[in-house]
Amino acid sequence: MQWYTPVPTAATGLSCRGCGGTYPRTYMLDCPACHSLLQVEYDLEALAALRPGDLRGDTLWRYAPFLPIGDPRHFISLGEGLTPLLRLPRLGQRLGLRHLYLKFEGTNPTGTVKDRSTATAIAAAQEFGFNAVAVVSTGNAGSSIAAYGARAGLKTFVFCYARAAQPKMHHMAACASHLILYRGGYDDLIRIYDRLMEEMPIFEAGASRSTYKMEGKKTIAYETFEQLGNQAPDYFVAPVAVGETFIAAWRAFNELFAIGWAGKVPTMVAAQSSEANPIVEALRDGGPIRPRPIGYTIAEGTAVGNPERKGEWALQILREGKGLAADASDPEVLEAQALLARTEGMWAGPTGCVPLAALRKLVTQQALDPDAVIVCVASESGLKGEYAPVEREAIEPDEAHLRAILREGLAAG
C-alpha cells in the first residue's frame, strides 16, 4: 500500500495533564513525575500551513500530520475510516430536528469505531519496537486489536469479558494469538491488568491510559468536518464509557479551530447507558465522579462504572464547554436501534445506539436548538450483536395464502 503524507507527523512530544511536564515522543503510560495522564502535543504552526486540500488517501492515514506516528513504514491499515456521514431526514422529522446526521462507524473493517484507535495503537507499538500488544475489552476493542495485531504480525493478548456477544468472541478467537476470558466486569480486572502492563514488555493498548491509541479516534472529527463541507457541526453526540471517542473528537475539533480551518468548536454531548452513567450523574449533580458498581447492559461497550482519569477529563470538557449529557436505559436503546433501522435503514449495535437514545431524551427536554447541525455517532454495526430470536411464525409456501399476505400488506397504511 502506498501512503501519501504532506508531513509525516506534526507531533512534537508529550505533555502531562497534571503537572505540565513535557517529554519526548516515547512510550510512556503516564507522567513519571506525578502519574497523571499524558497527551500528545503538535506543532500547530506546521498544521496551520496545511490546507484541507493537502489531505490525500482513503484510509485514516489521510490525517497523518495530525497523528503521532513519525515513520510511514509503521502505518497499518485494513481500510478503516472515511465512514459515511449520513443525513437522517425521516428520523430528523420524527424528532423535530432539521439537520440531523449520523456518523456510521459500522463500515469500519471490524465494524466499530475502535479501528481508528487500533490503527494508531498498533502503528505506535511497531514504532516503539514492541512485538506484543494487550487490551482489556468488552468485545469490540478486543476484536479490533486482534485483527490489526494479526495484520502487523504481533502477538496479541486480548482480555475479554466472558459475557461478550458470541459473534465478537468468534472474531477474537480467530484473530488473536491469545484470547483470555475473565469473570466479572471491566472494573474488576483493570487494576491487576494495569500493574502487569507496567512489568511486561507488552504495548498497552487499553483505553484508560494509552496516549497514542486515543489519537486515532480524532479522525472521526476530521472526517465529519470534511464531510460537512469543511465545517464543524453545532453539536457532536458521542458515547462515553472511558471517554476516548468523546475526548479525541473534542481535541480534534479544537485543533481545527486553532489552525483556522473550523470557525467553531461544537457543543459536545456525552451519552451513557443508565446502567453505567457516572459522568451524566456528576454533570447533573455538580460534584465529582462517583464510581459505581454496574449491572449488565445490552450496550456492552459502555459498561464502565469507574472511568478514572479519562472520565474526569471528559467531565472537565463538559463543564468548561457547557456541554450536555444524557443517559438511556436498555429498553430506550433498543427502541432507538429499531427506530433507526425502520426509518433510515441503518443497523447499528446497541452500544452504537446509546447516543441516539440520549439525543431523543435531550430533544424531549428541549435542550437543543432544532435548527442546529447535529452529528450523532453510531459507534458500531448491529451485525456483531447477539439478540433474542425473532418472533415470527413460519408458514407453508401456499400461493393463495402468500397472495393474500401481499395484498393485505399493500393495502395497509
SS3 sequence of 161-227 = ECCCCHHHHHHHHHHCCEEEEECCCHHHHHHHHHHHHHHCCCEECCCCCCHHHHHHCCHHHHHHHHH
For 25, the grid coordinates are: 515522543
Among residues 269, 241, 271, which one has the least CA distance to residue 253? 269
Please return the burial class of 342, using the count of CB atoms within 10 Å of its CB with bins 0-12, 13-18 and 19+: exposed
Among 18, 84, 167, 370, indicate the residue that binds Zn ion (CB under 5 A). Answer: 18
Rama region for 243: left / alpha / beta (φ>0; ψ in -120 to 50; rest): left
Report how far residue 42's alpha carbon sits from residue 12's, in angstroms, rounded to the nearest whole number.
Answer: 5
Nearer to Zn ion, 212 or 236 (CB): 212
Name the one range near Zn ion by CB under 5 A: 11-19, 342-350, 369-377, 399-407: 11-19
Smallest distance, Zn ion to C-beta of residue 326, A: 33
16/376 with CB nearer Zn ion: 16
- By CB under 5 A, name the one of 8, 13, 21, 321 that touches Zn ion: 21
Whole-angstrom distance, CA of residue 310 vs CA of residue 113:
18
Question: Which of 7, 19, 180, 405 contacts Zn ion by CB under 5 A?
Answer: 19
Spatial neighbors of 16 by CB under 8 A, at least 6 apart, are 22, 23, 31, 33, 34, 36, 37, 38
Between residue 231 and residue 250, which ones bind Zn ion under the rule CB under 5 A? none
22 binds Zn ion (CB under 5 A): no
Q: Minimum Å distance from CB 308 to Zn ion?
A: 16
The site string for Zn ion over 23-62 (x = CB under 5 A, - otherwise) reads --------x-xx-x--------------------------
Stretch that binds Zn ion, among 9-17, 284-292, 387-395, 398-406 (CB under 5 A): 9-17
List the x/- string, 324-353, binding to Zn ion by CB under 5 A.
------------------------------
Nearer to Zn ion, 16 or 69 (CB): 16
Nearer to Zn ion, 99 or 209 (CB): 209
